Amino acid sequence: MLPLLVATGVVVAVYIVLVKTIFKSSKFKGNAAMAGKTVIVTGGNTGIGKATALELARRGARVILACRNQEKAELAISDIKRETGSTDVVYMQLDLGSLQAVRSFTETFLKTEARLDLLINNAGLVADGRTADGFGIEFGVNHLGHFLLTCLLLDRLKEGTGGRVVTLGSMAYRWGNIDFDALITNKHLGTGRYSWQFFHAYCNSKLCNVLFNHELAKRLKGTNVTCYSVHPGVVKTELSRNCSLWQRFIIEPIARLLFLDPESGAQTTLHCALQEGIEPLSGRYFFCCAPQDVVAKGKDDAVAKKLWEVSERLSGLF
């Protein structure tokens, strides 16, 4: 009996530690209104993006769901309108896996929308494969597509008063690295059919997100636009939809027990999007609605600058 009690105590203690650390959650408590403001949320048709879009719509924003899948987007819009009463939530087609599609999206947006106050680079995936332009899909979608999207929309953001860019990173950036020679030669930061291979590629793409935000803040100094990167927590979303059946079989029970729901996962994004007075923290990395220190690789000025320059060339900006 005693060994069973000890084992139970250990399991409970481990569970409590996990809930208070890796699986910690928070709640954004600000009351900022968004009436008259326009927001783009990439991947806003599901998960964290949908939860973020819903709250912004509830606060009065015009919300544009920038998504690849129109059917899912229209279902999400119906849900958001029903729950918030907003009639100002719309779909615009965006495939981050195609640089031409990103350009088409921005051209359409700039022609049809008079303002942009908030860009939320939310979409992301864990998968193997290539984009339409031949890039590793995680690098191409998670970083390069968002990089091009942001650069093409910066001028419109600067036209307003206090525009913001929020990019979803992940604590996984800690395990990432960037091999520029491999990136330029092979157009990816990791690939392979085994889960550990494309998870490592995911970590590399999340490091790109954090470094992109770091460099973007430097380039936005002296403007009225600020930027933030976010670790949303470990959230139960469709991020693992491309994992194998046996991997999902392992992940699902853990997710049900420990992972945050999308609404909880959206709280730090909402904090960085809406909290007043955080402008001096532009370029910082946030978790649980608070700025966090990043490890050295996440704030390496030289690597961040080089990533920006390489991304400019790969995306066709220069």
Active site residue 15: no
Backbone angles phi, psi at 22, to 5 degrees: -60, -40
Buried b (16+ CB within 10 A) or exposed e, 77-89: beebeeebebeeb
CA dist 127 and 135 (Å) reads 13
Task: Find where tokens 């961040």 sit.
Answer: 304
Which of 316, 7, 276 minimizes the C-alpha distance to 144? 316
Please check whether residue 297 is in contact with residue 303, taking contact to mean a CB–CB distance below 8 angstroms.
Answer: yes
> CA–CA separation, 164 vs 160, rounded Å?
10
Q: Which of 91, 202, 228, 285 is catalytic?
A: 202
Q: Which residues of 236-257 are buried (b: 16+ CB within 10 A; e: fewer)?
A: bbebbebbeeeeeeeeeeebee
Residues labelled catalytic: 202
